[in-house]
Amino acid sequence: MAVQLQIVFSDVEKKINKLKIIKDTIKQVLEDDEEYSSLMDKIKNTKLKADQAKFRILEKLSSEALEIEELKSDLKDDKTLLNDKAVADYLNGKDITVIDKKGFIYEPVLIIKYKKSKKKQAYDEDFFSR
Contact 106, 99 (CB under 8 A): yes
2 class by beta-carbon count within 10 Å (0-12 exposed, 13-18 middle, 19+ buried)? exposed
Any idea how long the chain is?
130
Query: Could you give the CA distance from residue 27 to residue 38 in angstroms, rounded to a whole number?
Result: 15
42-67 burial, b for 16+ CB within 10 Å, e for fewer? eeeeeeeeeeeeeeeeeeeeeeeeee
Domain boundaries, the chain: 14-60, 74-116
Predicted pLDDT at 67: 95
47-87 pLDDT, tens digit per residue, is 999 999 999 998 899 899 899 999 999 999 999 999 999 99
Tell me the backbone φ, ψ of residue 121, rounded to 5 degrees: -135, 140
> Would the pLDDT of 1 be above 60?
no
100-110 pLDDT, tens digit per residue, is 999 999 998 88
The type of residue at 107 is E
Contact 106, 100 (CB under 8 A): yes
Global pTM value:
0.56
Provide the phi-psi class of 125: left if phi over 0, else alpha when psi is between -120 and 50, else beta: alpha
Residue 98 is classified by DSSP as E
